[in-house]
Amino acid sequence: QKEVEQDPGPLSVPEGAIVSLNCTYSNSAFQYFMWYRQYSRKGPELLMYTYSSGNKEDGRFTAQVDKSSKYISLFIRDSQPSDSATYLCAMSASGTASKLTFGTGTRLQVTL
């Protein structure tokens, strides 16, 4: 079993929809949780970062962490065609924050 599980998609939604992307994990030591966005033929770029449990909002993006369920989510409101990309979750344990473990990524397509 992988340490981090992520539905690969693809997920196709119409413009304006609310998108929910999720990851589950098995390592209870994970404390730092991140979401990256990767456009085709590009390197990943950090979207959101959360430490421990709770919610974090940045514009149209909201990241949620539920450590009791070992479950993290990224919500995108009012989705736009420019949001079409692969979204990767990543996490690391306290004390070893240089070692990141990534999910396999979910491919999102926002259609007009």
Q: Does 23 help bind another protein (rule: CB under 8 A)?
A: no
By three-state DSSP, how is residue 28 classified? coil
The Cα 79–Cα 2 span in angstroms is 29
Q: How far apart are the first and last CA of the chain?
A: 37
HSE-up (13 A, CA, CB side) for residue 10:
10
Among the listed ranges 11-19, 44-52, 59-67, 71-79, the one in contact with another protein (CB under 8 A) is: 44-52
β-partners of residue 48 are 35
Among the listed ranges 41-49, 52-60, 61-69, 74-82, the one in contact with another protein (CB under 8 A) is: 41-49
**Nearest CB to another protein, comparing residues 36 and 76:** 36
β-partners of residue 24 are 5, 71
Cβ 43 to another protein shortest distance, Å: 3
**Nearest CB to another protein, comparing residues 28 and 94:** 94
> Can you give the binding site for another protein, defined by CB under 8 A?
6, 8, 32, 41-46, 49, 51, 88, 90, 97-105
